[in-house]
């Protein structure tokens, strides 16, 4: 049930995996495991021996990736990446957090952002768009965005402190509070100037749908999905 996200563009490969394979990396600087590499080749039609990814730290740092996949070694940890280089696969791992795929078909720029509640609170979606504008001259009105499978308001039960963090995105239901991280990130993208019609949402809750990994549902034993984008 992997999602292939092509944005109707032959020069882009994009995918989010499901729970049929675990993409937890042994080493962020090393090639993919043989089974991981085979999965991507089967589902993308491209052999990808290594991806650019770093340890995600629930912050708002955004890396501008240059120099090919070999540039991954020694790069700082971060939660978002942008690039205009061809054949450079950028990737995230998630198991409830929101993966945000961003594509500028005019300037041929891609971006991926990992938005947990901390990153959402720090406006990582908004800041990633702003970074694409600053580094590559992207126009927000040109951007196409996809919000991948993640935990939804139906399952994301949170504490009282979230009323202070996300006052507009907390709902009281049957004596418990639930947070809407999709809504918060969508509104950041709208604030950045991305047209509503160009923000697509998978509508899939990782906690409800057992075809996807969920840390909230499965705890420490949960695996990780990969979200990947590459210009070709």
Sorted by where each starts, the structural domains of the chain and their CATH numbers stand as: 3-231 (3.60.140.10)
Q: What are the backbone angles phi and psi of residue 46, rounded to the nearest 5°?
A: -135, 135
Along the 232 residues of the chain, how does pLDDT read in single tens digits?
567 776 778 899 999 999 999 999 878 988 999 999 999 999 999 999 999 999 999 999 999 999 888 777 778 999 999 999 999 999 999 999 999 999 999 999 999 999 999 999 999 999 999 999 999 999 999 999 999 999 999 999 999 999 999 999 999 999 999 999 999 999 999 999 999 999 999 999 999 999 999 999 999 899 999 999 999 9
pTM of the complete model beyond 0.75: yes
DSSP class of 75: P
């Amino acid at each position: 049930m992997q999602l292939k996200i092509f944005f109707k563009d032959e020069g882009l490969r994009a995918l989010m995996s499901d729970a049929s394979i675990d993409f937890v990396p042994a080493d962020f600087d090393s090639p993919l495991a043989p089974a991981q590499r085979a999965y991507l080749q089967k589902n993308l039609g491209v052999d990808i021996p290594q991806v650019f990814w770093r340890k995600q730290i629930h912050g708002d740092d955004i890396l501008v990736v240059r120099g090919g996949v070999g540039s991954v070694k020694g790069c700082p940890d971060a939660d978002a990446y942008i690039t205009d280089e061809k054949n450079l696969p950028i990737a995230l791992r998630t198991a409830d957090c929101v993966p945000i795929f961003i594509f500028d078909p005019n300037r041929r720029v891609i971006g991926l952002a990992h938005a947990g509640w901390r990153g959402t609170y720090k406006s990582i979606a908004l800041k990633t768009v702003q970074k694409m504008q600053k580094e590559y001259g992207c126009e927000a009105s040109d951007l196409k965005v996809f919000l991948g499978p993640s935990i939804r308001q139906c399952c994301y039960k949170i504490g009282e402190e979230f009323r202070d963090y996300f006052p507009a995105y907390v709902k009281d239901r049957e004596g418990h509070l639930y947070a809407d991280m999709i809504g918060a990130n969508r509104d950041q993208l709208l604030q950045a100037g991305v047209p509503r019609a160009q923000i697509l949402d998978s509508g899939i809750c990782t906690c409800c749908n057992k075809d996807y990994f969920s840390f909230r549902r499965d705890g420490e034993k949960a695996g990780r999905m990969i979200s990947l984008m590459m210009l070709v």
